Chains A and B, each alone.
Chain A
Amino acid sequence: AQSVTQPDIHITVSEGASLELRCNYSYGATPYLFWYVQSPGQGLQLLLKYFSGDTLVQGIKGFEAEFKRSQSSFNLRKPSVHWSDAAEYFCAVGAPPGANNLFFGTGTRLTVIP
């Protein structure tokens, strides 16, 4: 069975600082991996995805994530955070092929202070 752990419930960073959100997964093989962002009252927006190949994945809004098979991790990073990045971030895993049933972590809430 698949599972996702996001160990940080809440993170606060200063605007302009770097950001890393942690995600660890449990799956018997290499899964498909996703990061979504959810602003208050909004649906989920896909930031980036990993299916195979290059383990460093670039996404929208200046985000990137690195897949590390040895650590079962897919951490999200951004070199310089903007106030508009304040939101809830969810890591998700899907089983190939198709990834029809996504398993989500419990999310990390990001607060950005001026």
Chain B
Amino acid sequence: DTGVSQNPRHKITKRGQNVTFRCDPISEHNRLYWYRQTLGQGPEFLTYFQNEAQLEKSRLLSDRFSAERPKGSFSTLEIQRTEQGDSAMYLCASSTTSDRGRNEQFFGPGTRLTVL
């Protein structure tokens, strides 16, 4: 089992550019989550998928952000027209539904985005 993987691990971009991150969950996990972590803070929830359906989105997920999970496996998070305030660590997690819904989220190593 390789765990949750994220690519790239680091991304440096200029303000106004678009960026896309990829997350590959643990293979048997049907739920996938995106979080954002800024320096000195805990992770903040952005969105989650069950299979290919996006079931919840945070108010933090502005119109410039879009997430997809087209086949219910890997997911992508795209940020359009990046701003310096988007600089953060973007974390992906996955879980599997169990009885009574007590799911545990397993996190990937994250993608660190720096917007210049």
Q: Which residues of A contact B (CB under 8 A)?
A: 4, 32, 34, 36, 41-46, 49, 51, 90, 92, 96-107
Q: Which residues of B contact A (CB under 8 A)?
A: 4, 31, 33, 35, 40-45, 48, 55-56, 58, 91, 93, 97, 100-110
Complex: A41 Cα to B110 Cα, angstroms: 8
Contact (Cβ within 8 A) A99 B106: no
CB atoms of B103 and A100 under 8 A apart: yes
Quick check: B102 and A43 within 8 Å, CB to CB?
no
Q: How far is the CB of A4 from chain B (nearest CB, A)?
A: 8
Complex contact B101–A107 (CB within 8 A):
no
A32 with B102, Cβ < 8 A, contacts A90-B43, A107-B42 known: yes
Is A104 in contact with B44, judged by CB distance below 8 angstroms? yes
A98 touches B101 (CB 8 A): yes
